[in-house]
């Protein structure tokens, strides 16, 4: 669906008919209690051009999860489907790379030539990029998002005007532009640090922004691909997201560090009802995400 305008749910609610207000009131009464057990939560922006179908709960209890924080939203309406500590500040691990990708997409052209320098020395999850190699910016995004390449994250930042820390500053500026209250970055890859954090709500907003770009949507939906650099080096890449390939699972990003635990942001679309699920601090990000998605599509009907 082509996005023409961005309006939040509260603004939309003022324009619907009396009948729709009744439906919304019924839905609101059926939202799991956990949603209201948090501090004041910002509204999720919805993107649509025509009157969307509204999710209505059947009051089935949500699954029990080990995740410290969960946030699930209906993409078409911005209605919150489930929330557990959605504004708690937590380590995002490699979910950070969603914002890294946004800043890179904002600045680089797809065919911009990027050099690999210090990125080749990156530790942790990498795409095994070679020192002094050159890749197109579009290919560097594949290396960033599919195998969760820390080396690609550093390369994207080091080729930015002003270098690495200017890139990080831009990430924080973008977070402020999106109105995010519980996000701050100190690096581009998700390295643990006391001032490097986000929340399930905030990372959902970041993912929604990234998914407005077809480049990002195509990359995070890719399970395997082989890249060839401008110097002829070949890089076979495989996604860290083992849910890709299952019906309706379209991305987005994995993350893990010892302090962050298992993290996963998922874009799912079953029965033409797209949702975003964000799970932070889990002991089983893939299994719990599967349970949550099954619960959403069983518990809700779109009327």
Please return the burial class of 155, using the count of CB atoms within 10 Å of its CB with bins 0-12, 13-18 and 19+: buried
Q: How many CB atoms lie within 10 A of CB 194?
A: 9
Select which of 57, 68, 69, 94 is catalytic: 94
Residue 250 CB contacts under 8 Å (≥ 6 apart), including other chains:
217, 220, 221, 267, 268, 269
Taking the C-alpha atoms of residue 259 and residue 91, their distance in angstroms, rounded to an integer, is: 7
239 carries an active-site annotation: no
- Given a contact cutoff of 8 angstroms between Cβ atoms, the answer to whether 253 and 144 are in contact is no
Taking the C-alpha atoms of residue 277 and residue 281, their distance in angstroms, rounded to an integer, is: 14
160 DSSP assignment: S
229 carries an active-site annotation: no
Three-state DSSP class for residue 169 = helix
- Given a contact cutoff of 8 angstroms between Cβ atoms, the answer to whether 72 and 278 are in contact is yes
Pairing of strands 69-74, 134-136: unpaired
Select which of 97, 170, 174, 253 is catalytic: 97
94 carries an active-site annotation: yes
Closest CA to 114 of 97, 94, 139, 96: 139
In this structure, what are the phi and psi dihedrals at residue 55, rounded to the nearest 5 degrees?
-75, 130
Closest CA to 66 of 301, 303, 279, 294: 279
Select which of 57, 69, 125, 148 is catalytic: 148
Instruction: Calculate the CA 78 to chain-centre distance.
Output: 15
Diameter over CA atoms, the chain: 63
CA atoms within 13 A on the CB side of 286: 10
- Residues involved in catalysis: 94, 97, 148
């Amino acid at each position: 669906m082509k996005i023409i305008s961005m309006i939040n749910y509260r603004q939309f609610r003022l324009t619907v008919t009396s009948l729709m207000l009744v439906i919304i009131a019924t839905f609101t009464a059926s939202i799991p209690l956990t949603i209201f057990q948090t501090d004041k939560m910002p509204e999720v922006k919805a993107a649509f051009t025509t009157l969307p179908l509204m999710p209505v709960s059947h009051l089935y209890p949500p699954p029990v999860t080990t995740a410290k924080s969960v946030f699930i939203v209906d993409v078409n309406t911005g209605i919150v489907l489930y929330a557990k500590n959605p504004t708690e500040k937590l380590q995002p691990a490699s979910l950070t790379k969603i914002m890294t990708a946004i800043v890179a997409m904002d600045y680089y052209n797809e065919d911009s030539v990027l050099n690999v320098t210090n990125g080749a020395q990156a530790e942790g999850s990498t795409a095994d990029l070679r020192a002094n190699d050159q890749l197109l910016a579009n290919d560097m995004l594949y290396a960033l998002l599919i195998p969760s390449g820390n080396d690609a994250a550093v390369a994207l930042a080091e080729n930015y005007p002003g270098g690495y820390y200017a890139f990080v500053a831009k990430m924080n500026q973008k977070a402020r532009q999106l109105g995010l209250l519980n996000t701050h970055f100190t690096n581009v890859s998700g390295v643990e640090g006391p001032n490097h954090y986000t929340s399930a709500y905030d990372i959902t907003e970041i993912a929604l922004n990234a998914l407005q770009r077809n480049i990002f949507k195509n990359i995070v939906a890719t399970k395997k691909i082989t890249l060839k650099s401008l110097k002829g080096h070949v890089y076979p890449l495989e996604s860290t997201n083992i849910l890709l390939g299952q019906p309706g699972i379209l991305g987005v990003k994995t993350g893990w560090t010892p302090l962050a635990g298992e993290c996963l942001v998922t874009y799912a679309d079953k029965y033409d009802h797209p949702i975003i699920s964000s799970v932070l601090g889990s002991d089983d990000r893939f299994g719990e995400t599967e349970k949550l998605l099954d619960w959403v599509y069983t518990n809700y009907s779109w009327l």
